[in-house]
Homo-oligomer: A and B are copies of this chain.
Amino acid sequence: MSTSFASSPRETYHHGDLRAALLDVAEALLDEGGPEAVSLREAARRTGVSPTAAYRHFADKESMQAALAVRGFDAFAAALAEAASSDPDEPLSAMGQAYVRFAVTRPGRFRLMFGTAVSERERHPELKAAVERASVGFRGAVGSSESSDKVLAMLRAWSMIHGLAQLVIDGMLPGYDPELLARAVTTKK
């Protein structure tokens, strides 16, 4: 299927490969400049394909951002699950540290996942599904019961660690080690 002596780099991509390549480049844009820096045209340019080729995979900037958020939530779910299994005695504390580490390592990705860049989550069912996958692990670590006490404990834990991560990446807690803070707030006194 590949064309020898291709006159343009676009010829070297199979359909699915180009989508992945565009998302790889878009992730770099996200890391560099945050959600607003994601651009279909710039992703196409850096990938070496025409804007038209990129628009075959993503209808618009928001669709590309949604696809990046899906990737983000899947990576997030994997990081939380790995953390929980690494410390069966204190899964919540391990997940809390992983949560903050995830945000601090690539704040642009974190802002995209939780911010307004993907303004209408309802329009992106694949994103809704990814959010659900990520929250399953979090709920599991707090307790699978649906009793109101457990639900409240989950909400408290999620709010606390999410707020800590957000305050850290927004520069509201300068001078502290983010993961030490995460350990401190999540460890039972």
Contacts and interface: CB of A to CB of B under 8 A. Distances in A.
A166 interface: yes
Interface residues of A, number: 29
Interface in A117-160: 121, 131, 149, 152, 155-156, 158-160
Contact of A155 (B155, B159, B184): B184
A67 interface: no
Contacts of A160: 156, 159-160, 163
Contacts of A68: none
Contacts of A114: 166-167, 170, 172
Contacts of A71: none
A171 B36 contact: no
Nearest to A162: B163
A167 B162 contact: yes
A48 interface: no
A158 B167 contact: yes
A188 to B, nearest CB: 12
Contact of A116 (B121, B152, B170): B170
Contacts of A34: 116
B171 A159 contact: no
29 contacts: A34-B116, A36-B36, A114-B167, A114-B170, A115-B170, A121-B171, A149-B189, A152-B184, A152-B185, A152-B189, A155-B164, A155-B181, A155-B184, A155-B185, A156-B160, A156-B185, A158-B167, A159-B159, A159-B161, A159-B163, A159-B185, A160-B160, A161-B163, A162-B163, A163-B163, A163-B164, A163-B165, A163-B166, A166-B166
Given A114-B170, A116-B170, 11 more contacts: A114-B166, A114-B172, A115-B170, A155-B164, A155-B181, A156-B185, A158-B167, A160-B160, A162-B166, A163-B164, A163-B165
